[in-house]
Amino acid sequence: MVDGLLSHPPLPQELRTQGLAPLPCNLYGRERVDLSGTWQFLVDSVERGLRNQYPRYTIPKDEKQAPVGGPLVEYDWDSAPDITVPGDWNTQSNERLFWYEGLGWYRRRFPAPPTSGDRRYFLYFEAANYRAHVYLNGSPLGVHEGGFTPFAFEVTDKLVSDNSLVVGVNNRRQYGNVPGSDADWFNYGGITRPVWLVSTPPTFIQHAVVTLRDAETGPIITCTVTLDGRDAADTPVTLRIPELAIELDATTGADGRATIELPAPRHLERWSPETPRLYPIVLSTAEDTIADRIGFRTIATRGHDVLLNGRSIYLRGISIHEERLGTREDDGGRRLDWDDSRRLLTEARALGCNFVRLAHYPHSEKTTRLCDELGLLVWSEIPVYQEDIAYDDPHTLEVARQMLAEIITRDQNRASVVVWSVANETPLTEPRLRFLRTLIADARAQDSTRLISAALNRSIASTLTEIVIDDPLGADLDLLAYNTYAGWYGPLAPGDITSITWRSIYDKPMILSEFGTDAKFGVHGVREARWTEEYQRWFYEQTIHNANTVPWIRGLSPWILKDFRSPRRYRTDYQNYWNRKGLISETGQRKLAWQVLHDFYQHQADAPAAR
């Protein structure tokens, strides 16, 4: 147990019922009502709302005149403060809730959906950090754990003319959660991404995956479809890709699934950062039609190479936290709308990136869809973060497995996503190895088309000047990744970095998934002075030069694009609860090191055609 942190009270038994529905795929291509906007909000730091199940009791209309001795209800939604959804509560409410960590209750009323008939309805949450207890019209729908992945509850038979949706979100950090109780990013709490009322036909296309693979006979397009509903079995499904003149049918089996497979047309233009070609596709049954835009590409490794569409590629990356690029210092927050995501990714493109490491948790669907459009390869990661994870706790493993399944389900059709990462900087212990190997097996079973990785930073045989990649987990990964801070943490200075040698016991490609130093924008001095922009530039020059001497280092995702809020960064002179390793400040001011990485990527991009 981590001292000083309350453990969650045991939930009433019925709240353990997950109640989660299979996620309706392709959210943005579906009929849906946006429940974003002004909700009501109540802080419940003593969590009585859970124990006493307050949200189950609607306030009697005439409660103010309730007879003496009647039920005493000590809260009132109609007079509760407003809050905006989506959005963390920390950066709303005039800072009153900036450091709040605990349970908060949201309430939103919404009318019955306009159409009647035999439609089905789902409450679809894109994310709520960290644990969400969802009630509709006083009845519990269920609980979702995990702060960065979508979840849904079917409410078809639970809607009335005037609906009361009550959501208790608890962002209290706790050993046993994923992440645990100590992470180097700000614990933004609340309904941080949009909420939708999604409508589908009685039998709908619940999940569909369209992939390209290079077979012996040539490239093959495969589309697997899963229907949900009373007529899921023995139902015709049609795949159309108009720009490729493809229209093919299949019929689902008894399990409601169908597979359509065909040779890829010779003129198919593959997706890549240089040509992020997306093809409109339409999947339909007699009842349901969904449209999406798909990029066709392959990703693999061979020896020391990462192969995109069969050609070796160097990953010119940068790490990014999901935090708004502010227009003024106190503007950052977890709510990112399309423009916010685009601003961050445009900064990555300006650096010359073809790759972004979306750290340390799944970012919004907006971001991965924009990466499809902008031509940015994506490293997608679940927050199995450092040593503060209960690697021997079955519930913790269940949560991590669920998170991984949820993000793979959501993003399986995003061509930009090429890596599923199961961890960051995890200890060399047997429980950790078992935990991560379970996740890797899950990822491979659900999606055999992408690379599996994890950011490592432990070694058995390393010395101060020889880094040996010998973490046993490396045997299970396709792409190795290593976080190095030699020259910032530890006794070495940036001037010592070029004396570092690298050795790997694996015949696999590796990226430097993190390196960086703190530098507050505008702090200048001699390069030997920590916290200055000059020190950060010197560190980048030395680290990039050193990495470039290693033929099996096939990419970088330095730490980090933008300064970000963190509870671990206390110095009032330089940090003030900001991690200053960004190449740009929290308002986008570019530091001296920015040019070093930009110029290196320009050189890489101009390098002779890949091997």
What pairing do the DSSP bridges indicate for beta strands 246-251 and 204-215? unpaired
How many residues touch ligand GCU (CB under 6 A)?
9
Residue 184 as a binder of ligand GCU (CB under 6 A): the answer is yes
- C-beta closer to ligand GCU: residue 166 or 510: 510
SS3 243: helix
Contacts of 280 (CB under 8 A, 6+ apart): 241, 242, 243, 291, 292, 293
Give the nearest distance from C-beta 147 to ligand GCU in angstroms: 15
Eight-class DSSP state of 456: B
From 409, 413, 579, 585, residue interacting with ligand GCU (rule: CB under 6 A)? 579
Contact indicator for 239, 246 with CB cutoff of 8 Å? yes
Give the nearest distance from C-beta 374 to ligand GCU in angstroms: 24
Residue with tokens 């490491």: 357
Residue 249's Cβ-side half-sphere holds a number of Cα atoms within 13 Å equal to 6
The C-alpha atoms of residue 201 and residue 156 are separated, in whole angstroms, by 11
Contacts of 498 (CB under 8 A, 6+ apart): 542, 545, 546
- C-beta closer to ligand GCU: residue 335 or 580: 580
Segment 95-134, which members bind ligand GCU (CB under 6 A)? none
Residue 323 as a binder of ligand GCU (CB under 6 A): the answer is no
The C-alpha atoms of residue 26 and residue 156 are separated, in whole angstroms, by 19
From 88, 514, 534, 586, residue interacting with ligand GCU (rule: CB under 6 A)? 514
Residue 424 as a binder of ligand GCU (CB under 6 A): the answer is yes
- C-beta closer to ligand GCU: residue 180 or 219: 180
Residue 322 as a binder of ligand GCU (CB under 6 A): the answer is no
The C-alpha atoms of residue 524 and residue 365 are separated, in whole angstroms, by 38
- C-beta closer to ligand GCU: residue 380 or 483: 483
Task: Return the exposure string of 119-139: e unless at least 16 CB atoms fall within 10 Å of the residue's CB, then b.
Answer: ebbbbbbbbbbbbbbbbbbee
Residue type, 442: D
The C-alpha atoms of residue 478 and residue 450 are separated, in whole angstroms, by 9
- C-beta closer to ligand GCU: residue 340 or 514: 514
* The CA-based dihedral angle spanning residues 279, 280, 286, 288, taken in that order and rounded to the nearest 10 degrees: 120
Diameter over CA atoms, the chain: 85
Binding mask 448-487 for ligand GCU (x = CB under 6 A): -----------------------------------x----
Residue 425 as a binder of ligand GCU (CB under 6 A): the answer is yes
Segment 330-389, which members bind ligand GCU (CB under 6 A)? 360
From 209, 581, 596, 600, residue interacting with ligand GCU (rule: CB under 6 A)? 581
The C-alpha atoms of residue 106 and residue 161 are separated, in whole angstroms, by 20
Residue 559 as a binder of ligand GCU (CB under 6 A): the answer is yes
Give the nearest distance from C-beta 363 to ligand GCU in angstroms: 15
Give the nearest distance from C-beta 486 to ligand GCU in angstroms: 12
Residue 181 as a binder of ligand GCU (CB under 6 A): the answer is no
- C-beta closer to ligand GCU: residue 384 or 553: 384
- C-beta closer to ligand GCU: residue 198 or 456: 456
- C-beta closer to ligand GCU: residue 425 or 541: 425
Backbone angles phi, psi at 533, to 5 degrees: -65, -30
Give the nearest distance from C-beta 184 to ligand GCU in angstroms: 4
Residues that bind ligand GCU in the complex, under the rule CB under 6 A: 184, 360, 424-425, 483, 514, 559, 579, 581
